[in-house]
Amino acid sequence: MTASWNIGGRSLRSRLLLGTARYPSLAVLQQAIRASGAEIVTVSLRRESAEGRAGSQFWTTIKELGVQVLPNTAGCKTVKEAVTTAEMAREIFETPWLKLEVIGDDYTLQPHPFLLVEAAEALCRRGFEVFPYTTEDLVLAERLIQAGCKILMPWGAPIGSGQGLNNPYALRTLRARYPEIPLIVDAGIGKPSHAIAAMEMGYDGVLINTAVARATDPVSMGRAFGLAVEAGRLAYLAGAMPTQEMAEPSTPVTGTPFWHSSPPENLK
């Protein structure tokens, strides 16, 4: 396993973050988290409250795993909604960590850039460790950092779409622009190979939910993503070979026989 990393004031081994929604049962959720090795799980305060599980069996299940909870403001569309939800989450889950979502488009679930920055400023002033769900836009990234965010979570593709990394150029550019800021690809990853691609770019982690929860076998898929994140990180640290236009022989030709024209008569 690769070396531990520090995020939000904690030292962790796994670079996989796992969502907790849409699993067929609490037992499967628990098994999938364990199989993946994830040490951070996201929890929607609105969803758990709506389903009557906040502080009860669901919360007990999460506590038994000993993982770091990252509450999120899923479903919020205004700054007031996001701030109110965040304050409730901090009290219930006993953590200042917060995945900030302020949705601006119902079809793509794309973050609202202006309201996201406004909410981030308000929550950072209130002492939250804000993990903003954002796009790969450089200007928006800079505004979020100026607002006080020490971590960014750009999307790979729309939430739950499974499309992977729709704009690898922009993601690579974002990584290069902010080498010291922890960057976690959030949303749109559908396969372990997508996670590997993100980690090979130098991203610090990936957050997965639907791809694991809706798999035929969520437990095995959780393990697959855990291994993929590990493999991608190792590949990044090892230094991948550069791409090139022409072929290059992997076997040296020096000292091997060759003929300028035709082979000798006895070999015809």
Catalytic (active-site) positions: 99
Residues contacting 23, CB < 8 A, separation 6+ = 29, 32, 213, 218
> Residue 9 carries which DSSP code?
T
Phi, psi of 188 (to 5 degrees): 95, -15
What does the alpha-carbon distance between residue 99 and residue 86 come to, in Å, rounded to a whole number?
Answer: 9
Report the distance separating Cα 37 and Cα 67, nearest Å: 10
Closest CA to 159 of 139, 185, 196, 141: 185
Distance CA 259, CA 155 (A): 55
For residue 41, the tally of other CB atoms under 10 A from its CB is 20
Rounded to 10 degrees, what is the CA torsion of 97, 160, 145, 118?
Answer: -80
* Segments of 103-151 assigned E as strands: 129-134
User: Helix (H, G, I), strand (E, B), or coil: what is residue 75?
Assistant: coil
Cα-based distances in Å from 68 to 16, 62, 85: 12, 9, 19
Buried b (16+ CB within 10 A) or exposed e, 74-109: bbbbebebbbebbebbbebbebbbbbbbbbeeeeeb
